[in-house]
Amino acid sequence: MTSWEPMLHVRNAASLEGRNPAALSRRGFLQAAALATGASPFLNALRIHAAEIRRKGKACILVWLAGAPSQIDTWDPKTGTPNAGSARPISTKVPGIQVAHYWPKMAQTIDQVAILRTVRGKEAAHERGTYHLHTGRRLGTPEKHPNFGSVVADKLGDPDFDLPNFVSIGQTVSSGFLGVRVAPFIVDRAGELPRNVKQLVSRAQFARRLRYLQEQEAEFAAAGAEGLVAEHQTIYQRAVRLMQSPRLKAFQLADEPQHIQKAYGSSPFQKGLLVARRLVEAGVPFVEVRRGGWDMHNSIEQRMPPAAADVDQGLSQLLRDLKQRGMLQNTLVVCMGEFGRTPKINSRTPAPGRDHWARNFCILLAGGGVKGGRVVGKTSRDGTEIVDREIQVEDFFQTWARLMGIDPDEELYTPSGRPLKIVDGGTPIQEIL
């Protein structure tokens, strides 16, 4: 079998000929054989494919700081108030913008970054905040809303792409009513292949199995299950394509130059950011990278430096790397957690910390057409009030959708036929668009 052709058209073919078991099995046989031998037209097909992805353009990397980082110890530092805690404001590359001293490297790339300082959340519990900031909706309605990454995968992803259109390094919110097609493809450990993509037997044995599987399927299709069989085959073909995709290498770091790996750093999170860049480069439109450890109810002064250093190095390098590769213009980077932390320092043991606070917190955006070197919103001197430009979570989602080239008013349909807008209410933040 030298032609890759039948494979690329399988979706249409399946729907057209789905009721003809003989055609199905013949086609299936060809596909299986083509898959198993991995002929060279494969690569040509992929190149055409990649060009198409690039034409669609936009991608997004969401850096999720799970546990909710303190706004005062990150992008809204204070001085001259007990609420400042141990954080000191430092100057950045952009005159007039200050960040907390834990972030010296980000300070030097702040010209790429827009800081939203006055986001007002409604949820101050982890699960609810995580849902709100991932979906733009509040938890507690009968339907499960999709992770915004799933919306992006649905709207911008190519359904025939051989990698998943939404990859998450670490757990995240599900695709909700959008279903398994655009569900986050979870990778447990950055730098490793996703689960179950490794072929366990020799190439020849695997090819034999697939061939016999196709024959087996023909029988069941003829018995009346041709619809399910056709879909099953499509899914198996996509799974095998993923297993044998040269792009799988994007999940690993082996062929990434040492100096780049070093620049990102060697922590799991930092590796995750590098993998995210590689996946976006390979054509994945949405990648989420999770970094936990921000729920600092106690010992915030002790826990902040290592956590911040990890993200400071990785995130600043990600922005630099994307810029150097000419990818920053089309790749939006968002960095946030589920809410903020109390400006007031508590008196917990062994050392004080900050508790949950959703009344004002920060979201950071860069690339993807965002105007960098900007700060939106202002909080009071002690950090407890918004004094200028309150931003609702829905405003942020309006902005996010627009930056991705997605119409926020477009309606998605739940399985029961209920139309729901991609973003419910809010107005885009014009200052950064």
Among 43, 235, 387, 433, binds other proteins (CB under 8 A): 235
Site map (CB under 8 A) of other proteins, residues 208-227, x = contact = xx--xx-xxx-xxx-xxxxx
**Minimum distance between the CB of residue 307 and other proteins, rounded to whole angstroms?**
26
Residue whose CB is less far from other proteins, 347 or 416: 416
Buried b (16+ CB within 10 A) or exposed e, 90-108: eebebeebbbbbbbbbbbe
Nearest CA to 72 out of 317, 345, 334, 263 is that of 345
| Environment class of 389 (CB within 10 Å of its CB; exposed 0-12, middle 13-18, buried 19+) | middle
**Minimum distance between the CB of residue 425 and other proteins, rounded to whole angstroms?**
11
Residue whose CB is less far from other proteins, 82 or 425: 425
Near other proteins by CB under 8 A, which window of 44-52, 260-268, 383-391, 415-423?
415-423
E strand or H helix at 334? strand 331-336
**Minimum distance between the CB of residue 147 and other proteins, rounded to whole angstroms?**
14
Among 418, 425, 427, 433, binds other proteins (CB under 8 A): 418
Site map (CB under 8 A) of other proteins, residues 112-131, x = contact = ---------------x---x
- Torsion on CA atoms 190, 195, 196, 198, rounded to nearest 10: 10
Residue whose CB is less far from other proteins, 264 or 339: 339
**Minimum distance between the CB of residue 238 and other proteins, rounded to whole angstroms?**
6
The pair of structure tokens assigned to 85 is 């805690």
By CB under 8 A, is residue 18 in contact with other proteins? Answer: yes
Residue 214: C-alpha distances to residues 39, 217, 219, 413 (Å): 19, 5, 9, 35
**Which residues, including other chains, have CB under 8 Å from residue 210's CB and lie 6 or more apart?**
32, 35, 36, 236, 240
Residue 278: C-alpha distances to residues 143, 186, 223, 259, 364 (Å): 34, 16, 45, 15, 21
Residue 2: C-alpha distances to residues 32, 156, 370, 379 (Å): 12, 31, 46, 65
Near other proteins by CB under 8 A, which window of 100-108, 137-145, 339-347, 370-378?
137-145
- φ, ψ for residue 94, nearest 5 deg: -100, 120
SS3 (DSSP) at 126: helix
Number of residues that bind other proteins (CB under 8 A): 55
Among 2, 48, 200, 254, binds other proteins (CB under 8 A): 200
Q: Sort residue 124 into left (φ over 0), alpha (ψ -120 to 50) or beta.
A: alpha
The pair of structure tokens assigned to 261 is 């790996």
Residue whose CB is less far from other proteins, 48 or 180: 180
Residue whose CB is less far from other proteins, 49 or 181: 181
Among 80, 95, 96, 140, binds other proteins (CB under 8 A): 140
**Minimum distance between the CB of residue 378 and other proteins, rounded to whole angstroms?**
26
Near other proteins by CB under 8 A, which window of 74-82, 236-244, 305-313, 346-354?
236-244
Binding residues for other proteins, rule: CB under 8 A, are 18-19, 127, 131, 139-144, 164, 179-181, 183, 185, 194-200, 205, 208-209, 212-213, 215-217, 219-221, 223-229, 231-233, 235-236, 238-240, 242-243, 415-418
